[in-house]
Structure 1
Amino acid sequence: MKHLKIIALLLRNSLMSHLEYRFSFIMWSITSILWIMLTLISIEFIFGHVNSIAGWTKNQMLLIATVFGIFSSIMWMFFLPSAINITKLVRKGTLDFYLLKPIGNRFLLSTNQFSLDNFPRACILVLIMFGLIDSMGLKISFLSWIQFILFLLIGLGIFYNIFFTAAVTSIWFIDIFNLEDLYANILNVGRLPTHIFEGFTKLSFMFILPVMFVATFPAQILLGTADITMAITGLVILIQDLRGKSMNFLGFSH
């Protein structure tokens, strides 16, 4: 309960900050809408020359792009701002200020920054997703929606852990690479269905850097083509591989 109250307080502070700079908030929202339009138009343009890509039709590719956009919006809204802020705290020498607080280090470092200007984009993408589902005539059961949300959350958890681990390495390697660009490039791979890759590359994007959980697998659940057995097997491997890799090796508390 204490943690929920802290999150609510931090979210309120973030909202107040955005409302203080309304023009910036509005301009970012407009930019987000233009980004959505550009993405959808680019897919329309590509499918003006081909009928399918790796077995994915135009509407299916639009669906996976929409799911990717929702995933990316949530990551940038709740997780990535805090991860990026860790590197800034290290450079400024103010990380100790957070570590000495009477609350779990990982929790505080994971929730100290939010980017609520991604919220309008997420809402628009959800509406587009429902529109695509209706236009494709998909009848999605309640169980399928539960599975969709579950694996979307699993994907968010996995990439949160990966990105957080990358962020805390800045304690030793200050500014060795641009984390923001790294995060964006990794996520952008997820906008493509993993079926377009072959051999080791495909296996890597399924089990080592599991971008299949960004959009491909959640979209397959909605389409009714998901291989649950493979997903669960991969998930078990990923959980065992990722568990305790971030804050534990630093000796930080949860």
Structure 2
Amino acid sequence: MVRYLRMFRAFAASEFQFEMEYRGNFYLSIFEMFLVIGTSIGAVLIMFGHTTTMNGWTLPEMIVLLGVYYLIQGGVNLVFSPSFERLMEHVRVGTLDFHLLKPVNVQFLVSTRHLRVVRAADLGLGLVVVIVGLLQVGAQIGVAQSLLFALSLFFGVMLVYSLLLGLVTCAWRTCSRSSGPSPRRAVFRSTSIRSGCAYR
């Protein structure tokens, strides 16, 4: 376990150094996240400006739900999505064998090797939204509730990870020769009968 934690830390440090080579793009991406989350919260506020509840959900509860969504999305986009995109590219160009021959768990390597460090901002912003929503709800949150919440978030991320892993495993090849598709689009391409591509 310690070995894999060290490897993950090395992966994160390497990806962070790479993203810092393009600082302008890094900061613009963070600014974009602020706009996206701000727009989402604004849409919720507009909807609740005309009602007090929506299908049993109050405004503070909806804000908490929105924060949870961005927490899970941030966790997936931070680690798994970029790694799976690279995995499909390795399969397409035939370089996956280099990973299979390395003395490390292959699933761990292909799932966590590439990170999009800027997406850590999604986690931070999502956590802030959750905290603000909980403060508005006024619920008394103890240690046990906090641990259960964190555990539920972890299992939610693992469910999304399992789904993406299944999609990537099924969609081995695509028609594109210029760039590989995202894992979420690959499954739809792999089921196309008219594409004329060979899948394995």
User: What range describes the TM-score normalised by the shorter chain of this pair?
Assistant: 0.7 to 0.9
Q: 1:71 to 1:175 in 2, by over 3 A?
A: farther
SS at match of 2:171: helix
| Offset at residue 120 of structure 1 (A) | 2.0
The match for 1:111 is: 112
Contact 1:77–1:119 (CA under 8 A) maintained in structure 2:
yes
Shift of 1:152: 0.8
Q: Deviations over 1:156-182 (max 9, x none)?
A: 1121111111112222x4359954454
Q: Deviations over 1:105-126 (max 9, x none)?
A: 1111011110110112321221
Q: Conserved in 1, the CA contact under 8 Å of 2:78 and 2:120? A: yes
- 2:149 match: 148
The residue that corresponds to 1:124 in the other structure is 125
Which residue of structure 2 aligns with residue 22 of structure 1? Answer: 23
The equivalent of 1:174 in structure 2 is 174
Mapped contact 2:85–2:181 kept (Cα < 8 A): no
CA distance in 2, matches of 1:142, 1:59: 21
Q: Secondary structure at the match of 2:130?
A: helix
The number of residue pairs the alignment matches comes to 182
Matches within 5 A, 1:1-254: 1-171=2-172, 173-175=173-175, 178-182=181-185
Partner Cα distance (1:19, 1:178) in 2? 25
Pick which of 47-56 and 28-37 moved more.
47-56
Letter in 2 for 1:174: T
Once residues 109 and 32 of structure 1 are traced to their aligned partners in structure 2, the CA distance between those partners, rounded to angstroms, is 26
Distance 1:41 1:117 in 2: 23
Aligned letter for 2:49?
G
Instruction: Summarize deviations over 1:97-145 as a string: whole Å, max 9, x none.
Output: 1111111111110111101101123212212221221122111111000
Q: Which one-letter code corresponds to 1:57 in the other structure? A: T
TM-score (norm 2): 0.84
Q: How many angstroms apart in 2 are the aligned matches of 1:130 and 1:48? A: 21
Distance 1:135 1:151 in 2: 21
Q: Take 1:112 and 1:40, find their aligned partners in 2: how far apart are those partners?
A: 33
Structure 2, unmatched stretches of 5+, are 187-200
Report if aligned partners of 2:41, 2:63 keep a CA contact under 8 Å in 1: yes
Q: Contact 1:90–1:170 at 8 Å: present in 2 too?
A: no
* Identical residues among aligned pairs (%): 22
- What amino acid maps onto 2:29 in structure 1? W
Alignment RMSD: 1.9
Name the SS of the counterpart of 1:157 in structure 2: helix
Query: Residue 191 of structure 2 aligns with which residue?
Result: none
Counterpart residue identity of residue 171, structure 2: S
TM-superposed deviation, 1:75? 0.8
Where has structure 1 moved over 6 Å in runs of 4 or more? none
**Residue of structure 1 in register with 2:193 after alignment:** none
Distance 1:59 1:182 in 2: 34
> Within 1, Cα distance between the matches of 2:144 and 2:46?
34
Could you say if the C-alpha distance between residues 175 and 109 of structure 1 is closer, same or farther in structure 2, counting changes exceeding 3 Å? farther
Does the residue aligned with 1:143 lie in a helix, a strand or coil?
A: helix
Query: What's the offset of the Cα at 1:48?
Result: 2.2
